[in-house]
């Protein structure tokens, strides 16, 4: 049996809008992945420690609070520090187009803004995780 | 509602009509096999008096301003006074917000609306680890009474009504507001305004909870009790379906779950010894306005009628004011698209019409760029203008409840009321809203609806213009609002200065006293008032309560 | 890669090793070879009970109690895998967020997956890894009380059954084959009405089963209110001491490693047989009813 892709889905920051995170978690599960769901109000440390212990292939975070320019680079930094530089890091949420280049420079491999079909996110993860 | 013989004749004619349509369908099939509303309820081709056969006009529709208030809570609605155009706005610092409020007050506005940043909403000081990057982002940062004094500096609190979107730490912010008024020499009795204070929907949908359900309900009833005695003009809760709908619920779920929450608050207050007609008139509601215009209008009408019936029949309220559901509406943020964001102005217009045709008391219209970032001043103005055009140019405000009597609207109103009532029954069976939330029932129902909608969009069974149909290549949108990151640093510095300047002994004493009160059954409001006046910070106060009450742990409902 | 040098601090390596053994990926045999003699130190606690009993919160609270005793704690949280898509939502960490960053704790979520070779192979292997790298206590938490949970949980040294007040009918339904595996019983959420009644019911049920020697205690606790947790830790410790004194722990572990050995054997054997040249033909003949399953097995065994 093929090993399922393991994805951590979590919400860094303080906003409580988890509809997007939950929809994507369910869609990833339905695509045959193992989803480690860590829920709301996650610090960068919590997300990265969980990703390392769970040995996930992908970290997918959803953020709508506007704190993405602070929190996402921090997650990337910690991932590298903890030896998880090969873990695929993607994000979704209300993230202005203008911030995307900055975030990509800081390790976020893809940013899925509102309206992105779950199939697009799933395909991206399938094609980009290191197996 | 109609004459029996006429109905027989009508049945016959409807049969003939159906026959004619069926025949033409063979050659000209309809666009879809089944037509669905925005909430995925099947919609019939045609509605007739037959759909309202068992309906009694007086009992279920009646007159505006009279029980069961299906048609509105005032007898003449917008012919008398238009709804309040209340725009919720977030500014990063107390100083900036204060400037804005002063400007509004000078312009003759008497309704202020305060948006707090997320750390404030969750009871963390600006220098807490979890506050990093969040300070001042979605609203104003309030760490202590000092910030609150700046926020309302030079604004006579007896002359304005202030709406505060605050929930878990609502008691603390209310205490700060009362303390500011005191310093202005204004007694609490004269204060008018609203705190959202609806914790149940935080667990269900919005996520800014702190404590477990039980102590949270106690804080709410403490506020009810304190205000009914000391701040009688204050609206102590705004029971919100808005966020439930944003999380993906259907229209009927929005009504069912919101009213179930309402029932839980009423029961908690009764249990705490309050009398129904003492607090029920101060309950207010907050709903969403979505795109399916007719379904939404029916939703508001159904909600009003159902609440009136619940208050009268279930809680035996006597004061008509207890039975009147007054509500604020906000257009649906979740319907806004990042793609071709100009289109959002049209969506907001439809939603505005829905709220107005549904008889709202106040309305916030979203700005077109909210799916991208915080709105700019220009887009906020367009959103406000949308309301003004509907108010002054569309003509829908000239007569009360203009859609009443539409076979579809009345049938839909009945349908939503029944479905919502069914949810309330199921929640009653589970032991009430708080229990149904702890069990995850409500979250699961909403999640199922949200996921099903997402699938429909992806399969193009639901069309979202610009997203899954009529797409265009777009360039990067410009002129988006940004919050200066320096706000967080300034706020931290202010906290440091505050902590070194205040009387620490008084703070410690007040917090110790608060702890004792929280552990016992005493009302926490007086102790909170003492604590905020010593300049104990929001975080310090909330930490004391966290220690006594514990913290809510999210249920995993996916 | 020298796995012997991996210590509790190397969280990244531990995480990867668990993946390798869980997937039986290349290298898993080497991991066992190098680490097996380092296992046996950790005490393994299995936690199970019906959904909604608060197992994750109890796991969280117990883990905190153990780290306050300066122990290193490994947690394996098992959730069901969807039989249709092979995917799963593993959400137990959400109740253990505070432990997430604690250096004394290692939390791993697993899906039941349901592969051939035994449901418990993945969990049992993960336990071995955590044990070898220095865990003092390992808690396996499973959802529900079905057969697969029993399979997984029996690799534990002590089994904690978690219940909640007001599950009278559920207890009746559970008793067949499930109640017997509990060594310590906890009625969680003891602040709810009916806690004492449930305790009495469980005690009554257990008295019918009368295990020899050890009588499973039935305790009241509230994980969220941090009440009665000390007693649970003490009861588990008593159970461990009892088993050691009576020589039962060795027996229990012998039984558990026997299971593991059988699973390894089964897995090897099946793989070997499936690779036989004759295998497709035998399967064909079996389907065509030319031979019966026993003759088929005989023919294949002769080829090994």
SS3 assignment for B135-175 = CCCCCECCCCHHHHHHHCCCCCCCCCEEEEECCCCHHHHHH
The distance of A82 to chain B (nearest Cα, Å) reads: 20
The fraction of chain A above a pLDDT of 90, given in percent, is 83
Tens of pLDDT, residues B515-538: 999 999 899 999 999 999 999 999
The residue of A55, A56, A58, A130 whose CB has the most chain C CBs within 10 angstroms, and thus the best one to mutate to test that interface, is A55
In a domain, B294, yes or no: no
In contact, B82 and B391? CB cutoff 8 Å: yes
Q: CB within 8 A of B312, min separation 6: which ones? A: B67, B323
CB contact under 8 A, B556 and C94: yes
Each residue of C225-257: b (16+ CB within 10 Å) or e? Answer: eeebbeebbebbeebbeebeeeebbeebeeebb
Q: Where are the domains of chain C?
A: 3-246, 263-303
Q: Which of A18, A71, A114 is facing B207, going by the closest CB pair?
A: A18
CB contact under 8 A, B556 and A114: no
Confidence class for position C225, pLDDT limits 50, 70, 90: confident
The residue of C1, C15, C28 whose CB has the most chain A CBs within 10 angstroms, and thus the best one to mutate to test that interface, is C15
Residue B558 structural domain: 90-195+530-558
pTM: 0.90
Q: Are B99 and B191 found together in one domain? A: yes
Determine the Cα–Cα distance for residues B491 and A18; give it in Å rounded to an integer.
Answer: 28
In a domain, B141, yes or no: yes
Q: Which two tokens stand for residue A48?
A: 């990265």
Q: Are B100 and B191 found together in one domain? A: yes
ipTM surpasses 0.85: yes
Q: Which fold has domain C3-246?
A: Rossmann fold (3.40.50)
The residue of C55, C60, C91, C100 whose CB has the most chain B CBs within 10 angstroms, and thus the best one to mutate to test that interface, is C91
Residues of C within 8 A of B550 (CB-CB) are 224-225
Question: What's the number of domains chain B is made of?
Answer: 2
Q: Are B96 and B171 found together in one domain? A: yes
CB contact under 8 A, C89 and A35: yes
In a domain, B21, yes or no: yes
Q: What is the mean pLDDT of residues B462-470?
A: 93
Q: Which of B212, B439, B556 is facing C91, going by the closest CB pair?
A: B556
pLDDT at C117 over 70: no
Q: Which two tokens stand for residue C301?
A: 């065994």
Q: Which of residues 320-349 of B touch A (CB under 8 A)?
A: 334, 336-339
Q: What is the mean pLDDT of residues B342-364?
A: 96
In contact, A108 and A47? CB cutoff 8 Å: no
In a domain, B434, yes or no: no
Computed over every residue of chain B, the mean pLDDT equals: 93
pLDDT at A115 over 50: yes
CB contact under 8 A, C94 and B212: no
Q: Exposed (0-12), middle (13-18) or buried (19+): which is C55, by Cβ within 10 Å? A: buried
Q: Which fold has domain A6-128?
A: Rossmann fold (3.40.50)
Each residue of C111-140: b (16+ CB within 10 Å) or e? Answer: bbbebebbbbbbbbbbbbbbbbbbbbbbbb
Q: Are B95 and B48 found together in one domain? A: no
pLDDT at C83 over 90: no
- What per-residue confidence (pLDDT) applies to B370? 81
- What per-residue confidence (pLDDT) applies to A25? 96
Q: CB within 8 A of A107, min separation 6: which ones? A: A72, A73, A75, A76, A77, A79, A80, A89
- What per-residue confidence (pLDDT) applies to B49? 92
Task: List the single residue in A with minimal CA-CA distance to B448.
Answer: A23
List the C218-220 sheet strands across, edge first: C105-111, C73-79, C137-142, C43-48, C158-163, C184-187, C218-220
pLDDT at C89 over 70: yes
Q: Where are the domains of chain A?
A: 6-128
pLDDT at B93 over 90: no
Determine the Cα–Cα distance for residues B276 and C234; give it in Å rounded to an integer.
Answer: 50
Taking Cα atoms as reference points, which of B129, B372, B376, C93 lies closest to residue A70?
A: B129
In a domain, B41, yes or no: yes
Q: Are B190 and B96 found together in one domain? A: yes
Give how far Cα B245 sits from Cα of B116, B159, B429, C191, C242, Å. 21, 34, 23, 34, 56
Contact pairs from chain B to chain C, CB under 8 Å: 15
Q: Which of residues 405-434 of B touch C (CB under 8 A)?
A: none
CB contact under 8 A, B554 and C57: no
Q: What angle do CA B94, B97, B100 make, to 5 degrees?
A: 150
């Amino acid at each position: 049996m093929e090993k399922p892709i393991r994805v951590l889905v979590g919400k860094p920051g303080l906003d409580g809008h988890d509809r997007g995170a939950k929809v994507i978690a369910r869609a990833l599960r339905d695509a045959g992945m193992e989803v480690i769901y860590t829920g709301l109000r996650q610090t960068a440390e919590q997300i990265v420690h969980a990703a390392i212990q769970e040995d996930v292939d992908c970290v997918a975070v959803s953020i709508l609070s506007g704190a993405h320019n602070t929190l996402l680079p921090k997650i990337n930094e910690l991932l590298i520090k903890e030896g998880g530089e090969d873990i695929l890091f993607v994000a979704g949420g209300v993230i202005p187009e203008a911030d995307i280049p900055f975030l990509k420079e800081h390790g976020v491999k893809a940013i899925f803004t509102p309206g992105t079909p779950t199939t697009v996110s799933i395909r991206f993860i399938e094609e980009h995780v290191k197996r | 509602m109609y004459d029996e013989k006429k109905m027989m004749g009508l049945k016959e004619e409807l049969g003939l009509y159906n026959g004619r349509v069926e025949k033409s369908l063979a050659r000209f099939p309809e666009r879809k096999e089944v037509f669905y509303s925005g909430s995925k309820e099947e919609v019939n081709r045609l509605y007739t008096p037959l759909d309202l056969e068992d309906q009694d006009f007086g009992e279920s529709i009646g007159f505006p301003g009279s029980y069961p208030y299906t048609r509105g809570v005032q007898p003449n609605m917008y012919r008398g006074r238009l709804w309040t155009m209340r725009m919720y706005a977030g500014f990063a610092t107390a100083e900036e917000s204060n400037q804005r409020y002063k400007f509004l007050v000078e312009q003759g506005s008497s309704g202020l609306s305060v948006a707090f940043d997320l750390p404030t909403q969750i009871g963390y000081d600006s220098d807490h680890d979890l506050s990093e990057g969040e300070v001042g982002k979605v609203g104003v940062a309030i760490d202590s009474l000092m910030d609150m004094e700046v926020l309302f500096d030079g604004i006579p609190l007896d002359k304005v009504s202030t709406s505060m979107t605050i929930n878990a730490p609502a008691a603390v912010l209310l205490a700060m507001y009362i303390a500011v008024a005191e310093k202005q020499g204004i007694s609490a009795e004269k204060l008018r305004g609203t705190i959202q204070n609806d914790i149940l929907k935080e667990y269900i949908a919005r996520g800014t909870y702190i404590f477990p359900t039980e102590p949270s309900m106690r804080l709410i009833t403490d506020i009810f009790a304190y205000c009914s005695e000391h701040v009688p003009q204050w609206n102590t809760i705004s029971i919100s379906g808005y966020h439930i709908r944003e999380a993906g619920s259907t229209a009927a779920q929005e009504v069912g779950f919101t009213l179930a929450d309402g029932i839980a608050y009423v029961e908690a207050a009764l249990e705490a010894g309050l009398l129904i007609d003492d607090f029920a008139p101060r309950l207010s509601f907050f709903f969403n306005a979505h795109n399916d215009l007719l379904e939404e209008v029916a939703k508001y009408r159904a909600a009003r009628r159902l609440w009136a019936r619940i208050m009268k029949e279930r809680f035996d309220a006597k004061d008509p004011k207890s039975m009147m559901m007054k509500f604020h509406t906000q257009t649906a943020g979740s319907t806004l698209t990042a793609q071709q964001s100009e289109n959002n102005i049209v969506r907001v217009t439809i939603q505005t019409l829905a709220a107005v045709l549904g008889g709202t008391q106040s309305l916030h219209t979203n700005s077109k760029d909210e799916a991208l970032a915080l709105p700019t001043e220009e887009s906020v103005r367009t959103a406000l203008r949308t309301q003004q055009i509907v108010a002054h140019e569309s003509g829908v405000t000239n007569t009360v409840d203009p859609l009443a009597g539409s076979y579809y609207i009345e049938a839909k109103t009945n349908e939503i009321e029944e479905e919502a009532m069914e949810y309330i029954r199921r929640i009653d069976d589970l032991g009430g809203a708080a229990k149904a939330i702890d069990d995850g029932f409500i979250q699961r129902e909403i999640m199922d609806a949200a996921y099903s909608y997402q699938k429909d969009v992806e399969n193009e069974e639901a069309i979202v213009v610009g997203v899954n149909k009529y797409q265009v290549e777009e360039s990067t949108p410009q002129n988006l609002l940004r919050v200066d990151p320096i706000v967080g640093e300034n706020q931290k510095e202010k906290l440091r200065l505050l902590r070194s300047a205040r009387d620490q002994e008084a703070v410690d004493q007040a917090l110790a006293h608060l702890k004792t009160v929280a552990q016992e059954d005493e009302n926490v409001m007086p102790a909170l008032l003492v604590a905020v006046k010593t300049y104990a910070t929001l975080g310090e106060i909330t930490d004391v309560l966290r220690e006594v009450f514990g913290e809510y742990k999210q249920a995993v409902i996916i | 890669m020298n796995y012997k040098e991996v210590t509790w601090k190397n969280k990244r390596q531990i995480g990867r090793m668990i993946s390798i053994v869980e997937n039986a990926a290349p290298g898993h045999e080497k991991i066992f070879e190098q680490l097996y003699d380092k296992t046996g130190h950790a005490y393994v606690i299995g936690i199970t009970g019906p959904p909604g009993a608060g197992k994750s919160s109890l796991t969280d609270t117990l883990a905190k109690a153990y780290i306050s005793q300066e122990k290193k704690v490994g947690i394996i949280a098992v959730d069901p895998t969807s039989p249709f898509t092979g995917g799963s939502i593993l959400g137990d960490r959400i109740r253990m967020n505070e432990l997430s960053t604690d250096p004394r704790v290692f939390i791993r979520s697993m899906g039941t997956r349901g592969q051939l070779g035994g449901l418990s192979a993945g969990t049992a292997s993960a336990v071995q890894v955590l044990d070898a790298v220095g865990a003092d206590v390992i808690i396996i938490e499973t959802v529900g009380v079905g057969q697969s949970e029993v399979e997984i949980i029996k690799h534990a040294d002590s089994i904690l059954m978690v219940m909640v007040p007001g599950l009278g009918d559920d207890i009746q339904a559970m008793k067949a084959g499930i109640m017997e595996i509990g060594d310590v019983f906890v009625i969680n959420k003891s602040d709810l009405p009916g806690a004492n009644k449930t305790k009495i019911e469980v005690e009554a049920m257990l008295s019918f089963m009368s295990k020899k020697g050890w009588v499973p205690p039935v305790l009241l606790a509230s994980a969220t209110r941090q009440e009665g947790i000390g007693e649970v830790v003490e009861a588990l410790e008593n159970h461990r001491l009892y088993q050691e004194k009576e020589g039962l722990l060795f027996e229990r572990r012998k039984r558990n490693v026997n299971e593991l050995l059988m699973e390894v054997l089964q897995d090897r054997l099946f793989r070997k047989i499936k690779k036989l040249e004759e295998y497709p033909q035998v399967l064909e003949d079996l389907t065509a009813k030319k031979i019966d399953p026993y003759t088929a097995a005989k023919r294949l065994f002769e080829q090994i």
